[in-house]
Structure 1
Amino acid sequence: MTQIAAITTSPAPRRPASDAAHLRAITDEITDVPTDLRLVDEMLSAHFRGHAATLLEVGSELAPAAEAVAARLTGGKRLRAAFCLWGARGAARGRPVPGVVELASAIELFHLAALVHDDVMDDSDTRRGLPTVHRLFADAHLEENRQGDPETWGTAVAILVGDMCLSWSDDLAAAAVDDAGRSVRAAVRRTWTQMRDEAYAGQYLDMLSQTEEQADADRTERVLRYKSARYTIGQPLRLGGTLAGADESLLSDYDRIGLTAGEAFQLRDDVLGVFGDEAVTGKPAIDDIREGKRTMLVALAQESATLRERRVLDDCLGNPDLDVTGLARVRAVFESTGALERVDQRIVELAEDAFGIIAGAAVDDETRQALSGLVERCVWRRA
C-alpha cells in the first residue's frame, strides 16, 4: 500500500471575528496554501489509466470519453483529499497510514463524479475553465453532424462519465482498507456510505429549493450542512481519522471542524457564485442566479427586501435569459438588503469557531498548523 508522504502547509494569519468588511478585501492578499498532494495525483492517474485501457480495448470510439475524464482529473483544489490526509496524520501522530492515499484519491474521484452530474442538473456550460462534459459532447455532436438530439447525447455521455467515476471511486475506497482490521474496515465503509448518501440528499434538497418561489431558511441550512459542510471537510477528516484508528473524541472534533469550516466554505462559494471573477473561478458568475439557486444570500435578501427589491429577485431568480444588467441588479439587492454583509459576517464567525476547535483538538502542532491553513484556504479563497 502507498503511504502518505510529507504534506506541508503554511498557515495564513488569523482574522478578527469582529470585522466582516475585510472579507472581500483580503482575498487578493492570500495565496493558495501549498500542500503536497503529489501521491494523490499519481494514484488517480494510475487508477484511471487501468480503467481507460479497458475502455479502449472495447473500442477506439471510447477515446473521447476517456480523454474527457483525463482532462478533468487534474486541477481542482484537492481540499477534500488534503483534509483526509491530515485527518489520518492527526490521528496517527506521524505514523504511516496504509491506504490513506487511496482513500483520499477515492474522495476526489467521487467529487469529480458529483461535479459532472451537478453540471447536468444545473445546465452549466463551463467548469474550471473547461466546457462541462455534457456541453463538450453536445457541441461535438453538432460539429460532426450526427443523428439525433445533441443535448440528449451530451447529457447521456455525462451521466455515463459520472457513473464511471463513481464506480472507480468505490474501487479505490475498497482498496484503501485492504490491510485494515475488520472493525476499521467496517467503520470506514460506514462513513463512506454516509458521506455519499448525505451528498445525494443535499443535492436533492438543493434542486427542490429551485422549484419554489420563497427560500426556506431551514432547508438552506440543511443544504449547507449535507451538500457541502460535512462532505467537503467533516467526512474527509473523519474518513482519514477512522482509517488511522482515531478515538471518538478526536472524531467528534473532526465533525465539529467540518460543520463550522464546511459551512463557511459553502457560504464563501455562494458569494463567489454571484460576485466572483469568472477568470479566476472558471465558472460564469451569472449561473447561480439563472439557475435560481436558493442560497443563504437569497434567503436573507428575501427576508429584508422592499417591494421593489423583491420584484427584482422575482424577475431575475431562475430566469434563463438573465443578462449582465439583471445580474448587476441582483447584486445590488444583495448589498442593499444587507444580505451580503450578513453572510460575510457569518463566514468570519464560523471560521473563528473552527480555529477554536482546531486549537483544542488532540493533534500534534504540525497537524494543527496544517488544518488551520486549510481552513484559511477554504474561507478566504477566490475560486
Structure 2
Amino acid sequence: MVVDIDTAGAVLASCPGGQALDVPANSLPALVDWTLCEPKRAGSDKDADPLAGHPAALLRQAVAQGKRDLAGVCDVQNGPWWSGRALGPPWSLIRHEDQTGGPAAWPDGIRRQPPPIGPKWRHSPVARESWPFAGASCREGRPVTSGVLDVQEIDLSAVREQVDAVLEDFLEDKARAALGRSHPPEVADTLRDFLAAGGKRIRALLCVVGWHAAGGSEDRAAVLKVAASLELFVAFALIHDDIMDDSATRRGRPAVHRALRTRLGSSSRAERLGAGGALLVGNLALIWAQELLHSAELSVQRRRAVHGLYDAMLEEVMYGQYLDVMGTGPDDDIDAALRIVRYKTATATVERPLQLGAAVAGADDTTLDLCTALGLPLGEAFQLRDDLLDVFGSTDGACTPGLGDLREGKRTVLLAAGLRAATPAQQHRLRRLVGRADLDEHGAAEVRAILEQTGARHRTERMITSRYEQVMRVLDASPLPPTASRALRGLAVTATQYTS
C-alpha cells in the first residue's frame, strides 16, 4: 500500500505495534509525500476492500462527513493496518502498490512504478536529515523509518512575486517611454497603482500551474509573461466593469473612473470625462496585455495554440459581459445566471489560464480537456463565492458585507435562487429593494434576511461545495504530476473559501 498524502500543515503517520506517532509541532511540513506499507495479515479476507480500516481511508471518510477536529479519528487497534492518528488537516489521494513491489494499478487505471522499498518493513529508504518531520518517533521510543518522497513543490508565493516583477518592469518601461514621447505618464502609473491595490493573482498562478501540469520544466520566462499578460487583461476587464456598474470602489480604493472624476474637480463634465478616461486606461491595459503576450518567446506551433486560446477567452468574456449588462428574461432564472457566470468568469478565471499555461508547455488535447474539466466547475464556484462575499461578507470578518451587487441589481445565482423560492410578499420586497441606487444598510439587511429565509444562501453554498467536490474527483482520477495536483488542490481552496 502506498499512501500519497496532501497535507496542509501536519502529518499522518503510524508506528508498528499500535503506537501513535509524536511529531514535533515546529517540524510539520506544508506538503509531504511519504509511504506507509504493510500487507494484510494472513487469513484476512482477500475479497474485502483493500482500503477498509486504513487510517488514511478513515480520515477521508471523516473529512467527507464534515468533521473538523480529526484527532483520534483514525486510531486503529489490532487491525490489518498499523495504528494511525490524525495530527492535523486531512489528505486526499490513496493509491495501491501490488504485493511484489511492482508497478501499481492506481484509481485512474494507470500503472506507475512505486518508489524503492526496503526488505523488512517495505518502506522507502530515506536519509534522516531529509525528513520534513525530523525528530519524530514512536511513543515507545523507537525511531520512525517511514520513507519520504522528496518532491519539489511549486512555490506559489515565488510565482506571484515573479509575475509582479514582470508587470513592474513592463509598466516602468511604458512610463519611461511615455515621458520620452510626451505622452501622459499617469496612465501607466494608474495601472501600476490598480495592480498594486491587491488581488490574489489567481489567474496568473493557475497559468503557471497549468504549465507544470503539462510537463513544463525549462525556463519559466515565457509562461511568466503569459501569466502577467493575464493580470493586465483582468485590469482591463475590471476597470470597464466598474464603469458599467458605476462602482464606487475596487479593492478598498476608489474605482479608476471615480478617481479620475475626483481629479477633474467639481465640473459638470467631470463624471462623463472620468468615465471616458477610465475607458481609455482600460483599453490600454488590454492593448498592453496583448503586447506582453506577444513578447513571450514560443515556437510557431505553441504560439498559435496560445494565441488561439487567448482570443477565445477575450471573446467569451465580452459575450458574458454583454449578457450581464443586457440580460433579459425572468430575474429568477438560475440557469441564465449560471450562463453569465460561465462566460464572464469561469472560463477567464480558471479554465483558460490553466489551458494557456499548458499550451506554453506544448500540451496535447487530452491535457487541455482536463483543464476544462477542472476549470469550469472551479471557476463557477469562485464566482458563486464572490457573490456570497459581496452580500454577506466572510465569517471571519476579513470581508465585510457590501452594497455593490444589491444596489446594482446584479443578476446573480444567489438572487435568482432567492426569488425562485420566495413567497409573493418576499418577491415584492426583493424586487423593490434590489437595484436601488440609494439602498441603505437597513434595506440591505432585509434583503439578506430574505435570502437566508428562502434558503438561497444555503443553496448557493451547496452549489459551491458540489463544484469543489467535482474538482477533487477530477484531480483524484487525473494523471497530473503530483506537484501540479497539490497546487491545484490548494488553489481550489483559495478560490472557494470565505476570504477577502
Q: 1:63 to 1:114 in 2, by over 3 A?
A: same
Q: 1:206 to 1:323 in 2, by over 3 A?
A: same
1:129 aligned to which of 237, 241, 252: 252
2:193 maps to 1:76: no
Q: TM-score, normalised by structure 1?
A: 0.87
Distance, in Å, in 2 between the alignment partners of 1:172 and 1:280 is 34
Which structure is higher in strand share? Answer: 2
Q: What is the CA-CA distance between 1:348 and the residue it aligns to?
A: 0.7
Partner residue of 2:293? 173
Q: TM-score, normalised by structure 2?
A: 0.67
Q: Is the 8 A contact 1:10 1:373 kept in 2?
A: no
2:373 aligned to which of 245, 256, 266: 256
Q: 1:38 to 1:139 in 2, by over 3 A?
A: same
Distance, in Å, in 2 between the alignment partners of 1:97 and 1:57 is 31
Q: Is the 8 A contact 2:389 2:498 kept in 1?
A: no
Q: 1:10 to 1:34 in 2, by over 3 A?
A: farther
Partner residue of 1:26? none
1:156 aligned to which of 276, 279, 286: 276
The correspondence of residues 60-209 of structure 1 with structure 2, limited to 5 A, is 62-74=184-196, 75-92=198-215, 94-142=217-265, 148-176=268-296, 178=297, 180-209=298-327
Q: 1:71 to 1:262 in 2, by over 3 A?
A: same
Distance, in Å, in 2 between the alignment partners of 1:17 and 1:350 is 14
| Misfit runs of 4+, over 6 Å | 11-15
Distance, in Å, in 2 between the alignment partners of 1:131 and 1:97 is 35
2:175 maps to 1:52: yes
Q: Is the 8 A contact 1:191 1:235 kept in 2?
A: yes
272-281 or 225-234: which moved more? 272-281
Q: What is the CA-CA distance between 1:96 and the residue it aligns to?
A: 3.4
Q: What is the CA-CA distance between 1:137 and the residue it aligns to?
A: 1.1
Which structure is higher in helix share? Answer: 1
Partner residue of 1:339? 456
Amino acid paired to 1:190? G
Amino acid paired to 1:185? R
**Bigger Rg, which one:** 2
Unpaired runs of 5+ residues, structure 2, are 1-28, 33-58, 68-88, 90-154
Partner residue of 2:75? none
Q: Is the 8 A contact 2:391 2:405 kept in 1?
A: yes
Q: 1:221 to 1:11 in 2, by over 3 A?
A: farther
Partner residue of 1:4? none
Q: What is the CA-CA distance between 1:141 and the residue it aligns to?
A: 1.3
Q: CA RMSD in A?
A: 2.6
Q: 1:11 to 1:286 in 2, by over 3 A?
A: farther
Amino acid paired to 2:271? E
Unpaired runs of 5+ residues, structure 1, are 1-8, 21-28
Higher RCO structure (Cα 8 Å, ≥6 apart): 1
Q: Is the 8 A contact 1:230 1:258 kept in 2?
A: yes
The percent identity for this pair of structures is: 35
Partner residue of 2:431? 314
Counterpart secondary structure, 1:245: coil
Q: 1:233 to 1:11 in 2, by over 3 A?
A: farther
Distance, in Å, in 2 between the alignment partners of 1:216 and 1:348 is 21
Q: What is the CA-CA distance between 1:329 and the residue it aligns to?
A: 0.6
Q: 1:223 to 1:294 in 2, by over 3 A?
A: same
Amino acid paired to 1:206? D
Counterpart secondary structure, 1:99: helix
Figure out how many residues of one structure are paired with residues of the other and give that number.
Answer: 357
Q: 1:17 to 1:349 in 2, by over 3 A?
A: farther
Q: 1:279 to 1:173 in 2, by over 3 A?
A: farther
Amino acid paired to 1:365? P
Distance, in Å, in 2 between the alignment partners of 1:371 and 1:10 is 15
Distance, in Å, in 1 between the alignment partners of 2:188 and 2:300 is 35
